[in-house]
Chain A
Amino acid sequence: MKMSRNLLLLLLGTLSALAQEVDADLLKVKAKMDSVQSFEAGIIMDVDISFINMPTKEATISYQRGESVKFNSDDFILIPKRGFDFSLEEFFRHPFITVDRGIEMYQGKSYKYINIIPNSKKADYAIASLLIDTLNYRIVRSEIITKKEGAFTVNMKYDSDSAALPASMTVEFEVEEVKIPLNFMGRDTDIDRKQIRTEGKKTGQIYLQFQNYRVNNL
């Protein structure tokens, strides 16, 4: 009796999940981004992490639909693991449901606020929150809680109403500060991994400015 009740609950739960539709505005955003076949752009990158000093970096970014973005630079650059999924492929790779959270104000404008919750254990994120510009069908802010790589927040700014790709982007992330023995690279260069201690999580940011877009639309 108890077993049949559990089975019934499970069935109802599954049906309920299947009944959830993917948000129509998100699909429109996806369609708009899918219209971008490929693009190339120059990027100027600034890092703001409390325990890192790094000069402004320049690189080029290239994107081909269906592939992950590629970076090229003569310098050493740090590339955030999240924030460059322009076509939302990572969300659509596995089944998910969306939950409409209503309207939220952000930087003086109102946007549609939705949650994306994956249905599949294979998804590498636990939950994502998006602010969607429903007039121009593009994402202005996304917060992604990943299963293994911490939380990322991406803010995007656009040059014009028609632009599909951002003019600038800020990626916020959590990172653990590393404590290294004082003489680590000093006169004694012995490496003792046991001495390395971490001291809590810090929030870091990377600012990216995109220049000279060469976009190939469908």
Chain B
Amino acid sequence: MIKALLWAEAYKLMKQSRTWYAIAAVFVLELIVLISAYYQGAAVIDILLNNLKESFYFEGDLLNGNLLIYLILNSLWFNFPLILMLVISGMITDEYKDGTLQTVMLQPVQKKWFILSKYIVATVFTVLMVLVLALSAFLFSYLIFGKSDLIVFIGKLNFFNAVEAETRLILAFLNGCISMIFFSLASLTFGVIFRDTLKTWIVSVLFLIVSNLLLKFDFKWELINKLFYAKLNDTWQYFFQYEIPWNIILRNNLLLVGYIVGFSAIGVVIFNKKDIG
């Protein structure tokens, strides 16, 4: 039964025009970010290397595909989950709005498996979207701007050779996947709770904005800084520290997976308990 439900959910998701608009929006955003990153990149390098100009000549081009992908990563981690949340929350709110939920529930389908299939398809869709984003970012950036060393400022000026930079960028995308799944599934849970499309969108957007604000907020208690969900969403940045802190990355990702499971469980429980009508 679950297999049929998964296929049905995937079909419904790909059938709605909103999904394709979202995919197109991601490409448009990526293109805009790529262009602005190219122009911003020169200023970034200029500032980072300003104090070294007095003592050194520079050989090699730092304004290359790797820097642009890094800037894309920085710029898209707000806009991208926003798009995902709008699409994913629609997976449940549209069912309420169109009344198709009642029709489905007239079939021999367990509510638990029905909502779980939505969470699974939402996860797969999010992963695929991140893959599309990553592949297109690498493809466009390398094709147009080539591949060379990456310069990043995280406390110190970190230089990575081209191969190392590529590996770290791939790892950052993979790690970013977990954050994206968190936001996607949170929006699905909001859909279960609020049912109404517009209300769910507003709450989802608010949640994303607040999460981003709290990311920079320095809590008095170090434990909150370590464990609070909002603080875990830029774990991908650790891949650009010169020595990758694998322990912190593993801890943050495990915590975030815990939050994902928690948010999803809340959605499944609420959906199971609530009447469909």
**Interface residues, chain A, CB within 8 Å of chain B?**
51-55, 59, 71-81, 148-150, 152, 173-178, 180, 183-187, 189, 191, 193, 196, 198, 204
A178 near B212 with CB under 8 A, answer no
How far, in angstroms, from A77 to B160 measured CA to CA in the complex?
11
Whether B52 contacts A78 by the Cβ 8 Å rule is: yes
The answer, among A73, A78, A187, for a CB contact under 8 Å with B74, is A187
Q: Is the CB of B157 within 8 A of A52?
A: yes
B51 pairs with A78, CB closer than 8 A: no
For B149, the chain A residues whose CB sits under 8 A away are 75-76
Query: Is the beta-carbon distance between B40 and A189 smaller than 8 angstroms?
Result: yes
Residues of chain B lying within 8 A (CB to CB) of residue A79: 56-59
- Our count of residue pairs bridging A and B at CB distance below 8 angstroms stands at 113
**A52 lies within 8 A of B159 (CB):** yes
13 contacts between A and B (CB under 8 A): A52-B156, A53-B156, A73-B60, A76-B60, A76-B62, A76-B159, A78-B56, A178-B50, A180-B47, A180-B153, A185-B154, A187-B74, A204-B55
- State in angstroms the CA–CA spacing of A186 and B238 once bound together: 11
Contact check, A191 vs B157: say whether CB atoms are below 8 A apart.
no
User: Shortest beta-carbon distance, B41 to chain A, in Å?
Assistant: 10
Do B75 and A184 touch (CB < 8 A)? no
Of residues 122 through 178 on chain B, the ones whose CB sits less than 8 Å from some CB of chain A are 148-149, 151-154, 156-162, 164
B62 touches A175 (CB 8 A): no
In the complex, A48 Cα to B158 Cα: how many Å? Answer: 12
Distance (whole angstroms) from the CB of A54 to the closest CB of chain B: 4
Contact of B70 with A by CB under 8 A: yes
20 more CB-based (< 8 A) A-B contacts, given A78-B56, A152-B55: A52-B159, A55-B159, A59-B59, A75-B148, A75-B149, A76-B148, A78-B52, A78-B57, A79-B56, A79-B58, A80-B55, A150-B55, A175-B51, A185-B152, A185-B154, A189-B71, A193-B47, A196-B47, A196-B50, A204-B55
Whether B158 pairs with A80 at a CB distance below 8 angstroms is no
| Residue numbers in B under 8 Å from A186 (CB-CB) | 74, 234, 237
**CB-nearest residue of chain B relative to A151?**
B55
Chain B residue nearest in CB terms to A54: B159
Q: Give the 9 A-B CB pairs with smallest separation, nearest first.
A: A76-B60, A76-B149, A53-B242, A54-B159, A79-B57, A78-B56, A173-B55, A176-B51, A178-B51
Contact B215–A187 (Cβ < 8 Å): yes
Q: Which of B58, B153, B156, B234 contacts A78 (CB 8 A)?
A: B58
Closest to B151 in A: A76
| Cα separation A52 to B61 with both chains bound (whole Å) | 17
What's the least CB distance linking B211 to chain A, in Å? 11
B15 at the interface (CB under 8 A from A): no
- Interface residue ranges of B259-277 to A (CB < 8 Å): none
Please measure, in the bound complex, the distance between the C-alpha atom of A65 and the C-alpha atom of B114, giving whole angstroms. 79
In the complex, residue of chain B having the shortest beta-carbon distance to the beta carbon of A70: B59
Tell me if B43 and A76 are in contact (CB < 8 A). Answer: no
In the assembled complex, the Cα of A201 lies from the Cα of B57 at a distance in Å of 19
Q: Which of B25-58 contact A (CB under 8 A)?
A: 40, 43-44, 47-48, 50-52, 54-58
Which chain A positions have C-beta within 8 A of B78? 187
Residue of B nearest to A57 (CB): B161
- Please report which residues of chain B, range 231-269, place their CB below 8 angstroms from some CB of chain A when the two chains form the complex: 234, 237, 242
Q: Does B77 interact with chain A (Cβ within 8 Å)?
A: yes
Per the bound structure, the CA–CA distance linking A180 and B57 in Å amounts to: 22
Residue of B nearest to A171 (CB): B55
Please name all residues of chain A whose beta carbon is closer than 8 Å to the beta carbon of B156 when the two chains form the complex.
51-53
Complex contacts, A183 vs chain B, CB 8 Å:
216
Judging by beta carbons under 8 Å apart, are A149 and B55 in contact?
A: yes
Contact A184 B62 (CB under 8 A): no
Set of chain B residues within 8 Å of A75, measured between Cβ atoms: 60, 148-149, 161-162
A131 to B43, CA, bound (A): 42
A191 CB contact (under 8 Å) in B43, B55, B56: B43
Interface centre among B43, B54, B71, B242 (most CB of A within 10 A): B54
Name the residue among A51, A54, A76, A189 with the largest chain B CB count within 10 angstroms: A76
CB B108 to nearest CB in A, in angstroms, measures 47
Write the nearest CB–CB distance from B161 to chain A, whole angstroms.
Answer: 6
Q: Which residues of B contact A180 (CB under 8 A)?
A: 47-48, 153
A52 surroundings in chain B (CB, below 8 A):
156-157, 159
